Amino acid sequence: MPKSKYEAIYRDLKQKIEEGDFASQELLPSEHSLIQTYGCSRNTVRRAISELVSDGYVQTLQGKGVRNIFRPVAQAAFTIGGIESFKESSQRNHKKGRTRVLQFMELIADEKISLRTGFEKGSELYYLQRLHYLDEKPLILNHNYFLKSAAEGLTPEIAEDSIYEYLENILHMTIVNSQRIMTVEKITQIDEKYLELDANDYNCMAVITSRTYNGDGVMFEFTQSRHRPDYFSFQDNAIRKSPLVRSDF
């Protein structure tokens, strides 16, 4: 099925859910109604609904339909399970996002960088330090390493807009998965300086470390995102898998 078709349906339904067109716990229109509304096949509708289920927006009920279980949060929420750019997160949270590039350089991975990031020693990399603002408040400090051969032509101007848009729309990269670790770490002087933190009020912050891979199985990005603890909540949707059936012989 055309990827753009089910993604367009997914985005439209997601937007309607977020904007309150469907009340919490309300059933979405029937599968037949959605097929007529979007002029598509049953499989296309089911694929879009499956994406909403994975994101925690809806729940399928056997014999009843699809229920809206989305609950908006007061703070800006950045997802752990999904892969989205800061620009996309800002738009989803209905906030004005802005990115400022603090550092941009090309370097060769030495042993220390290799051990930290996972890039092979000798790899040519872009290193960026970026500050993300929401509604003109500095809230996230990013330390990014990008494999130069995978992100050829990257510039500070692109980095201030959306690197993922550049990779996907210009370089035609397929971004597949991201391995992430969330920790709580002490704030540094750099954190205090750029995130306007007072060490007397906050001595720790949330840190997300991620290694992201493209469709060729190549790790093209290592990022450490350092978040103000007083402005963010992190959300994910966990789905319980059926336990394995144990057989005793």
For 106-144, the pLDDT digits (tens) are 999 999 999 999 999 999 999 999 999 988 889 899 999
156 CB neighbour count, 10 Å cutoff: 13
Q: pLDDT tens, 9-34?
A: 998 998 898 888 988 889 999 999 99
Spatial CA neighbour of 214 closest among 168, 158, 156, 162: 168
Mean pLDDT of the chain: 86
Is residue 223 classed exposed, middle or buried when 0-12, 13-18 and 19+ CB atoms within 10 A define those classes?
Answer: buried
> In the structure, what pLDDT confidence band is assigned to residue 230 with cuts at 50, 70 and 90?
confident
Which residue has 């930290």 as its token pair? 116
Q: Which CATH number fits domain 76-232: 3.30.420.40, 3.20.20.70, 3.40.1410.10, 3.40.50.720?
A: 3.40.1410.10
Mean pLDDT value across residues 100-108: 97
Beta bridge partners of 215: none
Window from 30-39, 100-109, 200-209 with minimum mean pLDDT: 200-209
**Is the Cβ–Cβ distance between 203 and 186 less than 8 Å?**
yes
Beta bridge partners of 225: 142, 208
Q: Is the pTM of this model over 0.85?
A: no
Element (H, E) at 65: strand 65-68
Scored b (16 or more CB within 10 A) or e, 29-59 reads: eeeeebbeebebeeebbbbbbebbbebbbbe
If one compares 80 and 90, the residue with the highest pLDDT of the two is 90
Range 3-68 classified under CATH 1.10.10.10: yes
Spans of all domains in the chain? 3-68, 76-232
State the helix-helix crossing angle for 42-54 and 31-38, rounded to 10 degrees. Answer: 110
At position 44, the amino acid (one-letter code) is: T
Residues 35-46 have pLDDT tens digits of 999 999 999 999
Residue 136 tokens, joined: 């003109």
How does pLDDT run across 235-245, given as a tens digit for each residue? 666 666 666 55
193: pLDDT strictly greater than 50: yes
Is-contact 18 70, C-beta < 8 A?
yes
> Bigger pLDDT: 191 or 244?
191
Taking alpha carbons only, the member of 55, 59, 53, 57 closest to residue 18 is: 57
